[in-house]
């Protein structure tokens, strides 16, 4: 229903809900069953049949189909009735398509699972209790609570609001945030931009807070009505996938040229048009690495699933590649580098420290609790405090000191609030105390002190002199040097004037938030890995430096503050980032400039953030890392990665895994290209040398299917190498095939091709049988590729990496070897694949030749070390 032209009371009555307690759980359940979940209709997925048929759109597969048809027609014309070869080729193509559909389904399921992990939540009143639920479970009539940083989960009519501003550009096209209020009734035909008493799904709360009643969910919301325009596009290809696709095409063109040459040589040597054509086509399909992009996607999706289990949810696949190249991690202090468990340990008035249990401390903590959005709740017999860690610490201390946190709001009703913002670094509330309005302010000491004209000393008000202001600033510095977070509180009578000036200074509240135990080790790991850790915080520079020093981030030279950044040009800030490791008293705009300054120097920067105003910095960074626990929906949507535990160590772990995934992709590509070149060398060299063909088409296709796909996927599951965080970051300017990788691939391919030809020569010349020669070359090529896959597992010798440590590779070796043996030993299959039985000596020769690949590879690793 539309509620903008009705009063909030009328909407609540019409929806059959209750303003104070919300819907009951049973009411919500019935409405959910009746109206469905609060989500947009998903883009219709392709049917299984369509996905299966799409697998046959590949150019090489089309060529293979043409070959099958020609083979069938030729068999009919010649009257031989030998259709075994085209039938097997067709069967292999269909099996390839089945594997392709399975791989796509796995990747799709992985993405769906990750989307569920990062699904948005809504704060709702149900059965009189405030709880967080998945946004998809919202129903019409639910009473929702909104605050700065939230994404609005459904269309809703405001019941109450406080300085609420909402960014609606996605719906209205208005770039400026829209002010909202519950106290007006709009015309029925009002355009969206003028519905000031309604908030809409998928818009973002920029400032303030509100309570609202849900009027529309899912496809009935305004955003639901334009769902087709907002449907997410398919995931773009990663830069790596694009590079590999280009490489695949280049190799394909080269392979087709070689295939053309093989066909011409076959005709010249009177091998027959059909056999020559079939060999050329099958060589093309075997040689062109058309599976490269698919293998990369599978390896990426498997890696992303592993990272999700380690508290890092990757929202965009390219971020995995970028993580491996990160050179700078810009981290917030509170909650990321520290434990986010604040507790009040010190209270001071303008004269100095006071006993935390004294009446003076009680008054100071009372003001801090009054100007506060945290609230108390009972969990069994214990009291828990819910809200921002700084605010819960103050409320908890006030409660322990005699201020009843449960009755604070009822006893001293709040009539106005000016919310906290990163720009102002303070907040204020107006409460009724003994029948009079009182303005209470809480915020950063340096900001609050400037607005004070009086000071309260043991209940007496005195003027704020320059000497007193200087002494309070010194007290703040001393507390900050002891790594305390310091909050100043002040107050005055309001009497209708809610401006935050002419305040009376009450005191300073010092809290501690100890560093996370694992953070110091993570910082040390960063430094070893060539990554620079940087602290960016809104806290006082002295506090920031004290914490940074404990963690090993700060190396002297002082911190650069937000006010100093404002005086710097972009070039000066870029120079400052060369040595500065702590940035203090910064606002979100400063964060964007700091990130850009690092990037202007060629650094790959990761940035953490949790607030709505951090979204620009998260987008500006190469890798935006949003906080999963305390992060706003807006920040999460702007980020590439979400840390579900808000922990700096998780970022470092994610970088490590990102490097490991990149390594695994490189290993899989290295393996696939090396084996493809080996196949080309074997067939093309035989044609040039005037040999009979060492492999028939079916054998090449079988090798392409069995010994390429399974081992390549198994390489994607390889564990991260132990020394990976002792390497320098991967340079984005460095080519994928740099450091002699192309040469390695060519030499390995050449070795596999030569060993295959050697096996063919031994079988056909020494043992005197062409069929035996082909059988031995078929077996050697297949087992060489399996041995090569094992060799590709690690840059370290296998005895150090662990010979059987990769269970998937063990399985791939067993399955591939079993299949290969089956097509050679089982008579019916042997007849189809053109193989003949081998004796013990011949099997020993095949085994020896196949192991040469592994032995040379391992020897190379040992010698290079």
> Nearest to residue 333, comparing CAs of 573, 597, 549?
549
Instruction: Provide φ and ψ at 496, rounded to 5°.
Output: 85, -10
> Nearest to residue 513, comparing CAs of 487, 476, 534, 488?
487
Partners of residue 492 on adjacent β-strands? 439
Beta strands 178-180 and 204-216: pairing type?
unpaired
**How far apart (Å, rounded) are the C-alpha atoms in residues 767 and 769?**
6
In DSSP notation, 23-35 reads B-HHHHHHHHHHH
Beta strands 382-386 and 375-379: pairing type?
antiparallel
Tokens at residue 859, please?
A: 């020897």
**How far apart (Å, rounded) are the C-alpha atoms in residues 342 and 195?**
41
**How far apart (Å, rounded) are the C-alpha atoms in residues 621 and 94?**
44
**Triad 742, 743, 745: Cα angle to 5°:** 65
**How far apart (Å, rounded) are the C-alpha atoms in residues 229 and 213?**
26
Task: List the catalytic residue out of 58, 142, 150, 332.
Answer: 332
Instruction: Provide φ and ψ at 452, rounded to 5°.
Output: -95, 135
By the 10 Å C-beta count (0-12 exposed, 13-18 middle, 19+ buried), 352 is classed as: exposed
By the 10 Å C-beta count (0-12 exposed, 13-18 middle, 19+ buried), 45 is classed as: exposed
In DSSP notation, 298-325 reads HHHHHHHHHHHHTTEEESSTHHHHHHHH
Q: Is 332 a catalytic residue?
A: yes
**Triad 619, 622, 628: Cα angle to 5°:** 60
Q: H-helix or E-strand containing 772? A: helix 770-791
- Helix-strand-coil percent breakdown of the chain, rounded to 5? 50, 20, 30
Contact between residue 523 and residue 321 where contact means Cβ atoms under 8 Å apart: no
Contact between residue 668 and residue 660 where contact means Cβ atoms under 8 Å apart: no
**How far apart (Å, rounded) are the C-alpha atoms in residues 303 and 675?**
24
Q: Catalytic site residues?
A: 332
């Amino acid at each position: 229903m539309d509620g903008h032209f009705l009063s909030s009371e009328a909407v609540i009555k019409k929806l059959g809900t209750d303003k104070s307690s919300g819907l009951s759980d049973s009411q919500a359940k019935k409405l959910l069953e009746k109206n469905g979940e609060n989500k947009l209709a998903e883009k219709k997925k392709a049917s299984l049949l369509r996905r299966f048929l799409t697998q046959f759109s590949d150019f090489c597969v089309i060529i293979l189909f043409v070959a099958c048809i020609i083979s069938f027609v030729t068999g009919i014309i010649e009257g031989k009735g030998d259709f075994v070869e085209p039938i097997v080729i067709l069967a292999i193509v269909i099996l390839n398509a089945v594997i392709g559909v399975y791989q796509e389904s796995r990747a799709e399921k992985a993405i769906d699972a990750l989307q569920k992990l990062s699904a948005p939540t809504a704060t709702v009143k149900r059965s009189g209790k405030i709880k967080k639920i998945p946004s998809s479970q919202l129903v019409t009539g639910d009473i929702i609570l909104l605050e700065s940083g939230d994404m609005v989960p459904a269309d809703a009519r405001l019941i109450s609001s406080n300085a609420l501003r909402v960014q609606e550009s996605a719906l209205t096209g208005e770039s400026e945030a829209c002010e909202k209020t519950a106290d007006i009734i709009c015309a029925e035909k009002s355009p969206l931009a003028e519905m000031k008493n309604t908030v809409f799904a998928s818009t973002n709360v920029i400032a303030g807070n509100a309570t609202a009643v849900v009027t529309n969910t899912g496809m009935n919301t305004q955003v639901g009505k334009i769902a087709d325009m907002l449907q997410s596009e398919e995931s773009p290809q990663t830069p790596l996938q694009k590079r590999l696709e280009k490489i695949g095409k280049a190799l394909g063109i080269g392979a087709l040229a070689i295939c053309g040459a093989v066909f011409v040589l076959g005709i010249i040597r009177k091998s027959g048009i059909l056999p020559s054509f079939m060999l050329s086509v099958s060589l093309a399909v075997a040689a062109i690495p058309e599976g490269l992009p698919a293998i990369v996607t599978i390896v990426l999706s498997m890696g992303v699933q592993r990272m999700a289990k380690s508290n890092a949810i990757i929202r965009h696949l390219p971020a995995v590649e970028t993580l491996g190249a990160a050179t700078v991690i810009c981290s917030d202090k509170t909650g990321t580098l520290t434990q986010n468990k604040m507790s009040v340990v010190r209270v001071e008035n303008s004269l100095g420290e006071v006993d935390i249990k004294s009446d003076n401390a009680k008054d100071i903590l009372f003001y801090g609790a009054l100007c506060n959005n945290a609230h108390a709740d009972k969990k069994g017999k214990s009291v828990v405090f819910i809200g921002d860690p700084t605010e819960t610490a103050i409320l908890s201390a006030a409660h322990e000191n005699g201020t009843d946190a449960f009755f604070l709001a009822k006893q001293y009703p709040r009539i106005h609030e000016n919310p906290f913002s990163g720009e102002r670094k303070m907040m204020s509330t107006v409460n009724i105390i003994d029948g009079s309005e009182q303005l209470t302010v809480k915020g950063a000491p340096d900001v609050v002190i400037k607005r004070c004209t009086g000071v309260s000393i043991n209940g007496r008000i005195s003027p704020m002199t320059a000497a007193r202001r200087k002494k309070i600033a010194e007290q703040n510095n001393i507390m900050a040097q002891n790594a305390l977070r310091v909050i100043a509180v002040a107050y005055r009578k309001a009497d209708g004037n809610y401006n935050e000036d002419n305040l009376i200074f009450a005191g300073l509240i010092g809290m501690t938030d100890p560093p996370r135990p694992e953070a110091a080790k993570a910082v040390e790991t960063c430094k070893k890995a060539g990554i620079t850790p940087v602290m960016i915080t809104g806290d006082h520079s002295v506090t920031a430096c004290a914490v940074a020093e404990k963690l090993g981030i700060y190396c002297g030279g002082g911190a650069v503050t937000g006010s100093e950044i404002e005086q710097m040009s972009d070039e000066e800030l870029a120079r400052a980032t060369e040595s500065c490791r702590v940035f203090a008293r910064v606002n979100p705009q400063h964060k964007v400039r700091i990130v850009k300054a690092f990037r202007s120097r060629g650094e790959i920067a990761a940035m953490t953030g949790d607030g709505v105003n951090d979204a620009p910095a998260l987008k500006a960074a190469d890798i935006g890392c949003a906080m999963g626990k305390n992060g706003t929906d807006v920040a999460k949507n702007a980020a590439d990665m979400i840390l579900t535990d808000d922990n700096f160590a998780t970022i470092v772990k994610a970088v490590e895994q990102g490097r490991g995934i990149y390594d695994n992709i490189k290993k899989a590509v290295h393996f696939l290209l090396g084996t493809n070149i080996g196949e080309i060398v074997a067939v093309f060299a035989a044609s040039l040398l005037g040999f009979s063909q060492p492999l028939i088409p079916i054998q090449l296709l079988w090798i392409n299917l069995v010994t390429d796909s399974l081992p390549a996927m198994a390489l994607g599951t390889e564990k991260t190498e132990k020394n990976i965080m002792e390497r320098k970051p991967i340079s984005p300017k460095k080519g994928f095939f740099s450091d002699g990788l192309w040469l390695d691939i060519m030499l390995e391919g050449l070795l596999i091709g030569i060993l295959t030809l050697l096996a063919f020569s031994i079988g056909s010349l020494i043992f005197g049988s062409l069929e035996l020669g082909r059988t031995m070359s078929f077996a050697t090529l297949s087992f060489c590729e399996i041995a090569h896959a094992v060799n590709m597992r690690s840059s370290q010798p296998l005895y150090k990496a662990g010979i059987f440590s990769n269970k998937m590779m063990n399985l791939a070796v067993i399955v591939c070897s079993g299949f290969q043996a089956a097509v050679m030993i089982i008579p019916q299959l042997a007849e189809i694949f053109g193989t003949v039985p081998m004796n013990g000596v011949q099997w020993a020769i095949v085994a020896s030749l196949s192991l040469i690949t592994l032995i040379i590879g391992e020897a190379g690793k040992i010698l290079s070390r």
